[in-house]
Amino acid sequence: MAASVLLACGLNEQKLPGFVHISEESNVDGSFLISCILGQRLRISNAGTLLVCLQHHYQHYFNAGMRLGYNCNIFLGKTLNVIDVLSDMANEGFDSKWLKTADGLTLTEQLIEDIRAQLASNYSNRNSYTILIDNLSILFNLGASKVQVQQFCQSLAALAKEYENLTVITKLSNSDIHQLTDNNVAKLGNVRIQVLRLKSGVFREVDGKLLIERVLDEGSYACEETRKEVLYKVNDRNVKIFNPGEVGVKV
C-alpha cells in the first residue's frame, strides 16, 4: 500500500536513522507520509511508537491507517502510545495544560517532559522506538517562539543520540515561511524529506513532489549527500510513486 513511498524515502527498513525531518511547503498536504511511516513501524514486531498529534486527531490516523490496511486500535496502549494534544485542548478547554503555562513550564518543555515520561515507561520493553511528531508549526500557533521550537527539536535529537534504536520523525508545514527553523531542524538529522507542490500548477495524476536528501558522510571538509526526486500521487487506498518523466499528459 505504502511500500513504494517508504522505499523511495529510505524509511522501509527496520532500523531507521536517528532523526528524520519532513518539510512541507505551503498548500501541500504531507500528512500521508506520517500515516505511511506509522503503518510501517506498527507492522514491525515489538517496535514501540509514540505518536504526537498536533495537526490531526488520533482518529484521523486511525481512519487513514484503515485505508492503508492497518488497524491502529489493535496496537493502541501496547506498542502504540499517543499524546493527543488537540483532543486534550478540546476536552479540557482553557484548563488544558497545553494552553496554561502551569509549573513554570513552557508548551515545548511540557511536551518534551511528556515524551520523556512515555519513553521511560515504554522504551525498555521494545527493540526499537519511534517518535512521530505530526506538525511542529502548530507549536508556533500555540505561542511557542522560534527559539523554543528549536530547543525542543534539539532535545529530541539529544534523545535520539542518548537512546539506541530511537528514531525521531518531525514534520513542519509552511516550511517556506518558517525557513530558518526548518533548515535548523533539518540540520539535526541526516535525512530530510521535502514535500513540494508542482511548480507548473495542478495535475490530476500527480499530487506533488518529494525531494529526499540524505547525508551519507559528513567529513571535516566535505559533506557527501544524495538527493533524490520523485513524484507522488495519493490515492484512496495507496500512494503511488513516479520518477520524473514517467508520467506524461495523455491526449
Binding other proteins (rule: CB under 8 A), the pick from 87, 154, 165, 184 is 87
Binding other proteins (rule: CB under 8 A), the pick from 75, 140, 152, 232 is 140
245 in contact with other proteins (CB under 8 A): yes
117 in contact with other proteins (CB under 8 A): no
Give the closest residue to 121 by CA, choosing from 77, 76, 72: 77
DSSP-derived pairing of the beta strands 47-53 and 80-84? parallel
Q: Of 126 and 197, which CB lies nearer to other proteins in the complex structure?
A: 197
Within 12-41, which residues bind other proteins (CB under 8 A)? 26-27, 29, 31-32, 35
146 in contact with other proteins (CB under 8 A): no
DSSP-derived pairing of the beta strands 239-242 and 223-234? antiparallel
Binding other proteins (rule: CB under 8 A), the pick from 91, 121, 124, 226 is 91
Query: Nearest distance from residue 63's CB to other proteins, in Å?
Result: 4
Q: Of 189 and 209, which CB lies nearer to other proteins in the complex structure?
A: 209
- R_g over Cα of the chain: 18
DSSP string, 111-131: HHHHHHHHHHHHGGG-SEEEE
Give the closest residue to 9 by CA, choosing from 171, 135, 202: 171
DSSP-derived pairing of the beta strands 191-196 and 19-24? parallel
138 in contact with other proteins (CB under 8 A): yes
142 in contact with other proteins (CB under 8 A): yes
69 in contact with other proteins (CB under 8 A): no
Considering only 55-63, 118-126, 160-168, 180-188, which stretch makes contact with other proteins by CB under 8 A?
55-63
What b-and-e string marks burial along 47-82, b requiring 16 or more CB atoms within 10 Å of the CB?
bbbbbbbbbbebebbbebbebbebebeebeeebbbb
127 in contact with other proteins (CB under 8 A): no
- Among positive and negative, which fits the CA dihedral 36, 150, 16, 71? negative
Burial class (CB in 10 A: 0-12, 13-18, 19+), 163: middle
Q: Of 45 and 141, which CB lies nearer to other proteins in the complex structure?
A: 141
User: Which three cell numbers mark 1?
Assistant: 500500500
174 in contact with other proteins (CB under 8 A): yes
Within 196-235, which residues bind other proteins (CB under 8 A)? 197-204, 206, 209, 231, 234-235
68 in contact with other proteins (CB under 8 A): yes
Please, are residues 12 and 101 in contact by the beta-carbon 8 Å criterion? no
Please, are residues 81 and 53 in contact by the beta-carbon 8 Å criterion? no
Q: Which residues bind other proteins (CB under 8 A)?
A: 26-27, 29, 31-32, 35, 56-57, 59-60, 63-64, 67-68, 85-87, 89-91, 93-95, 99-101, 137-138, 140-143, 173-174, 176-177, 197-204, 206, 209, 231, 234-237, 239, 242, 244-249
